[in-house]
A = this chain, B = another copy of it.
Amino acid sequence: MSAAAAQRGPRTRVAIAGFGTVGRSVARLLQEVAQPELQLVAILNRGVERKRVDWLDGSVRWTENIEDLLTDDVDVIVELIGGRTPAEEWIRRALRAGKSVVTANKQVIAHAGPELLEEAARSNRHVRFEAAVAGGVPVVRAIEHGLAGDRLTRVAGILNGTCNYILSRMERGRVPFWEALAEAQALGLAEADPSQDIEGFDAQAKLAILAHIALGAHVPAHAIQAKRIDVIDAVDFLYAQQMGCTIRQVAWAERTTDPHVLAAAVGPALVPLDSPLARVRGSENLVTLRGQYGGETTFGGLGAGGDPTAVAVMSDLLAIAREGVPSSCRAGAARADVSADFTSAFYVRFTVADRPGIIASLATVFARHAINIDAILQEPGFPEGRRPFVVSLDPAPASAIDRAIQEMSQCDFHGEPPVVLPVLSSATVGAGA
C-alpha cells in the first residue's frame, strides 16, 4: 500500500489513462469483482466526453489532462494509452509525483524498463507490467516469485498471438500466408498494418522484457534479431511434418558461457510436434522457462484481449495494494550483448528452376562451410520452374549457414530466395518425455 493510501485509509486509489478495450475491462473488473483494496477514482482519455459510460460510479472523474491524475488522491496510474510517446514521459512524471504505475506498454518497458524501475525504486513506488509480456498469462509474477528460488537459464515462448494464429491456421488449413492473415484481420486478431507482428517487433519487445526479468540481462529490444514470418509457405508445413515438426514464431533467449552475452532471437522455426510450443493453437501465448533446479515450467493462456489483459492489470494493482516494499528481485540486471549465432539444426527450402546438378552444387557449398546434410526432401507435383525442395542440416552455427546461403545466392537457379529456419530440438524448446 502506498504511503498516501496508508495515511487516508485502506483503499488504493486507481486512475486509468486510456479508456479503450483494456481500460474499459479494467474499470469493469474494478466494479464487478469487488476488491476492497482498490477504488477507481479517475479516467483519462482524449475526447473523454464521447468515452463516458453510465455504469461507473458517479464519483469517478473524467479528464483529458494528465495533470488531473498527478493529484493527491491518486495512488496508482494504469497506463493503457500505448506507444512510446507520451506514455513513457507520463510514467516518469507519475513516478516522480509519488505515484505507482501499472502498464501494459511493451514498447516503453522494453526500451526504458530498467531506468523506470530505478526511478521507481528511488521513490519507493512500483512499476508493474504483467500485461506487457503475455497478456493474461501471469508469467512476470511467476518469474518474480514462483521461480525466485531457482536460477533461470533460458526462456522460450510464443509471445505473439497474431503470428501464432496465422501459422496454426496455415498448418491446419494448408492455406497460404496471405489468406491466413486476411482471416486474422477479419477476426480482429491482426491490425490493418500487421508489420509489428509479422516482422517480429512485438515479440522482440516482449522477449527483451523477459530476458531482463528472467535472465538478468538488459538488452535493447532492437538488438535482438527478428525474422519475418511471411516467408513461410504452405509447403513448408508439409516438409516440416515429414521431419516430425510444425512451424511457429518462437522467441527465445538463453544465457551463454559469457555472462556479458545473451543468445536470443525471434522468428519462424521448426518445433517438434510433441513440444509444448507446437501445441499452442490460435492466438494463445505460451512461455517456457528452464531453471537449473526446477527444470522446464510452462505457462499458457490468452495473450491478448480486453478481459485477459485486464486480469493481468488487476493482479498488478492488487500486488501494489497488498505489498509494501517493491520487490528488489529485478534490480541489478547487467547490460548484455546479444548474439544470434546459436548452433542449431537447420531447415533450408530452396525453390529452383529444376535442372541437373543443383543438389551437387549446393552440397559442395555446404561441405566447404563444414556443414553436414542430414536429408534431402522433395515432394512431387510442383511446376518445373519452381520446385521446392528441402535440405535438412545437422547442427551448425547460424553464422556458418548464413555464409553458405550467401555464397549460394550467386547461383542462377533460384526461383525464390532460400527459406532458412532453425530446427529447435526438444532439448531447446522442451518436449514431453
Q: Is A93 an interface residue (CB 8 A)?
A: no
A-side interface size class = 35 or more
Residues of chain A in range 277-293 having any CB-CB distance to chain B below 8 Å: 279-284, 291-293
Q: Is the CB of B145 within 8 A of A145?
A: yes
Contacts of A302 in B (CB 8 A): 294-297
Contacts of A432 in B (CB 8 A): 168, 279-282, 284
Q: Which residue of the partner chain, among B138, B279, B307, B322, contacts A147 with CB atoms under 8 Å?
A: B138
As for how many copies of this chain the complex holds, the number is 2
Q: Which residue of the partner chain, among B168, B322, B329, B433, contacts A327 with CB atoms under 8 Å?
A: B322
Q: Is A137 an interface residue (CB 8 A)?
A: yes
Contacts of A388 in B (CB 8 A): none
Q: Quick one: CB contact mask for A141-160 with B, threshold 8 Å, 1 for yes? A: 11001111111000000000
A246 to chain B, nearest CB (A): 12
Q: Quick one: CB contact mask for A119-153 with B, threshold 8 Å, 1 for yes? A: 00000000000100000111001100111111100
Contacts of A310 in B (CB 8 A): 149, 293
A135 to chain B, nearest CB (A): 9
Docked complex Cα distance between A280 and B298 (Å): 11
Q: Is A112 an interface residue (CB 8 A)?
A: no
Q: Is A217 an interface residue (CB 8 A)?
A: no
Q: Is the CB of B146 within 8 A of A315?
A: yes
Residues of chain A in range 46-97 having any CB-CB distance to chain B below 8 Å: none
A172 to chain B, nearest CB (A): 10
Q: Is the CB of B136 within 8 A of A294?
A: yes
Docked complex Cα distance between A315 and B294 (Å): 11
Q: Is A240 an interface residue (CB 8 A)?
A: no
Docked complex Cα distance between A291 and B307 (Å): 10
Q: Is A98 an interface residue (CB 8 A)?
A: no
Q: Is A113 an interface residue (CB 8 A)?
A: no
Q: Quick one: CB contact mask for A391-415 with B, threshold 8 Å, 1 for yes? A: 0000000000000000000000000
Docked complex Cα distance between A432 and B167 (Å): 14
With a 10 A CB-CB cut-off, give which of A130, A145, A282, A317 has the most chain B CB atoms. A145
Docked complex Cα distance between A138 and B308 (Å): 19
Residues of chain A in range 5-40 having any CB-CB distance to chain B below 8 Å: 25, 29, 33, 35
Q: Is A318 an interface residue (CB 8 A)?
A: yes
Q: Is the CB of A145 within 8 A of B281?
A: no
Q: Is the CB of B146 within 8 A of A283?
A: no
Beyond A293-B310, A298-B301, 9 additional pairs, beta carbon < 8 A: A29-B293, A141-B146, A148-B318, A149-B314, A150-B314, A276-B279, A296-B302, A297-B299, A299-B300
Pairs A–B under 8 Å by Cβ, sample size 30: A33-B151, A33-B293, A35-B149, A136-B295, A138-B147, A141-B145, A142-B142, A145-B319, A146-B312, A146-B315, A147-B315, A148-B314, A149-B310, A149-B313, A149-B317, A149-B318, A150-B311, A276-B300, A282-B432, A282-B433, A284-B432, A294-B312, A295-B301, A295-B302, A297-B300, A297-B302, A298-B298, A298-B299, A299-B300, A300-B300
